[in-house]
C-alpha cells in the first residue's frame, strides 16, 4: 500500500477496517479552516496536510506530507498588572499582565503574562490602575501579592502553550490589547490614544 496514492489507500482501509476506538480512519476536511478548528477542539497539538495523489511515507514529512503545529490563542480579561522594578534601566512600569477568564459568573485568575508590550500600552495599563480589584475576581494562592488592579473592560489576546494541570495558562504572550463591550467611552478614548 506504500506505492498507492492517498485516495486508493483510504478506500481500501475503509473496506477492511472494522469500527474500533483504538484504530480508525481520520476524518477528512475539505478546507483548512474547518480542519484546524476540529483539531483544536480535539486538543491536538498539530495536524498533517497530505497531497491527495501523494504516496505514503512512514514517519516522514516531505513534499507530499507536511506536519503543522497548532499554536493555541485565547482572549482573557486583564484584571491587573505587576509593576517593574523602578531601579531597572528599561522602566516601562508594567512587568506582566494578570489574566482572568469568566467562569460561572466570576473571574478566575488564569496566570500572568510577561512579554513585549508596546510602551503606549504600558502607559494605558498604568493609567487604568484603580484602588481595588473587580469584586467578582476569584484569587488563589498563586495570585501575586504585589499586583495592582486595573479598571474593568480591558482584554488581552494571547498566544500560549496550553494549560497546566491546575488550569492556569502556560507561557502566555500578548498579541494585542483590546477593550470589552462594557468599556466606557472614556476608556475607549484613552485606548485609542495608546495605539
Pick the CATH number of 73-193 from 2.40.50.140, 3.40.50.970, 1.10.443.10, 3.40.50.280: 2.40.50.140
CA distance 181 to 124: 17
- Give me the percent of the chain exceeding a pLDDT of 70: 84
Question: How does pLDDT run across 55-114, given as a tens digit for each residue?
Answer: 777 766 677 777 778 777 889 999 999 988 767 656 578 889 999 998 888 999 999 986
Measuring CA to CA, how many Å separate 148 from each of 91, 98, 131, 139, 159?
A: 16, 9, 8, 13, 23
CA distance 131 to 149: 7
Question: Taking the model in full, what pTM does it have?
Answer: 0.64
Q: Is the confidence at residue 189, as pLDDT, over 70? A: no
Question: What sign does the CA torsion over 174, 178, 179, 180 have?
Answer: negative
pLDDT at 118: 78
Q: Is the confidence at residue 38, as pLDDT, over 70? A: yes
Reduce the DSSP state of residue 65 to 3 states and report it.
strand
Neighbours of 94 (CB within 10 A): 21
Q: Give the domain ranges of the chain.
A: 6-69, 73-193
DSSP 25: P
Amino acid at each position: 500500500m506504500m506505492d498507492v496514492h492517498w485516495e486508493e489507500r483510504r478506500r481500501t482501509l475503509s473496506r477492511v477496517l472494522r469500527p474500533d476506538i483504538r484504530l480508525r480512519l481520520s476524518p477528512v476536511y475539505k478546507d483548512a479552516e474547518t480542519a484546524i478548528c476540529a483539531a483544536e477542539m480535539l486538543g491536538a497539538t498539530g495536524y498533517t496536510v497530505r497531497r491527495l495523489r501523494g504516496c505514503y511515507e512512514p514517519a516522514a514529512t516531505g513534499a507530499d506530507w507536511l506536519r503543522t503545529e497548532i499554536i493555541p490563542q485565547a482572549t482573557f480579561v486583564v484584571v491587573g498588572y505587576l509593576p517593574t522594578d523602578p531601579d531597572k534601566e528599561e522602566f516601562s512600569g508594567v512587568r506582566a499582565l494578570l489574566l482572568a477568564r469568566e467562569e460561572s459568573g466570576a473571574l478566575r485568575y488564569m496566570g500572568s503574562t510577561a512579554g513585549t508590550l508596546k510602551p503606549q500600552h504600558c502607559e494605558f495599563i498604568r493609567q487604568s490602575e484603580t484602588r481595588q480589584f473587580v469584586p467578582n475576581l476569584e484569587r488563589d494562592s498563586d495570585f501575586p501579592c504585589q499586583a495592582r488592579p486595573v479598571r474593568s473592560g480591558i482584554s488581552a489576546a494571547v498566544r500560549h502553550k496550553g494549560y497546566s494541570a491546575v488550569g492556569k495558562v502556560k507561557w502566555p504572550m500578548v498579541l494585542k490589547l483590546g477593550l470589552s463591550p462594557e468599556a466606557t467611552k472614556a476608556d475607549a478614548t484613552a485606548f485609542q490614544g495608546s495605539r
